[in-house]
Structure 1
Amino acid sequence: METNTAAGSEKNAAQPEHWVDRYADYLFRFAITRVRDADTAQDLVQETFLSALENVSGFEGRSTEATWLTAILKNKIIDWYRKQSSGLANKTESLEPVNSDDYFEADGHWKNEHRPKAFGLASDAVTGKEFTQVLQRCMQKLPPLWFAVFNLKHMEDETSENICRNLRITPANFWVIMHRSKLNLRACLQKNWL
């Protein structure tokens, strides 16, 4: 009986010597879609491996190595957003500003010319992949703070409270950023996808 337990724990034991070969590409792809910069993504993956190596004794084998390393990377990304948050508010990129008054009547209803249109998404893999590429290009146009807020909310499934705390923004600012991000993404998608 003890042999099986020992064999089971060996099977779930971390194997740091294989991490780079097995997980570096996956972790890099995960990071690059969230931080938009290859150098930063590489740094975060390296920090993930270092942190995991320092805490390898904490790996209990209750999940796969990939899941464990991804969780560490998610925390590194959130930490990176937190460190960047003070500078993000001041950075701007070229983005056509979207004014909600352009989209809505005084009573809050959509103006006819800006009423949402169906995207006509097909279920085939090619169309889905093309749409994802257009969406990613549109997201790249968001200012850094907007991207961080939108990404944390919709890709990382972070709570609004955590995002506000981590990025040091008020709940009102959070909802304004989300609203403006969605309007800009919608405008970009309608321009580039429809």
Structure 2
Amino acid sequence: MKLVVLTGIPGSGSTTLLNRALDEVDYVHLNYGDIMTEIAINENIVEDRDELRKLPAETQKEIQAKAAKEIKQRSEENNVIVDTHCTINTPAGFLPGLPKWVLDELQPDLFILIEAYPDEIIYRRLNDDTRVRDVQKAKDIQLHQEMNRATSMAYATLTGATVKILSNHDNHLDSSVKKLVDVLNL
């Protein structure tokens, strides 16, 4: 069984790509943020997902650890792909989405980074009325993607996993999905 972590900053299209690819691969999809949200709501810490990133870092870390244990339990008998964020841009700075104690629990085989051009990400965020997004400049989006690259390599160093970077540019969804399916089927 394989455990794959798929990441991308908000607006990169990582969830869209994954949802399309899941029709063609034998993986159970677990969204880290959804599991964290369920835990935080059940513990009366937040009312919705968008409040998670505004919590103090220590509270986020506690919820991350609980989510890792739950994901690991769910991944015992199936190929699992975990949809999450590599880093979270908080008011105090970038927070690792998968700190060492989470990686120690998960022990993923592969990290897949989904990236897009900053202008594409800005446009996608502006047109997504399902979430409340912070407005960012292109240079800030680029920095966040660069932080994800560096962080994913650090994660790979700690776990022995590999890192694959896939582009998801506008008007290329089908070819991006095919590339993702090919990587998952290796």
Tell me the TM-score normalised to structure 1 length.
0.28
In terms of fraction of residues, the more strand-rich structure is: 2
Tell me the TM-score normalised to structure 2 length.
0.29
Which is bigger in relative contact order (C-alpha 8 A, separation at least 6)? Answer: 2
Higher CA-based Rg: 1
In terms of fraction of residues, the more helix-rich structure is: 1
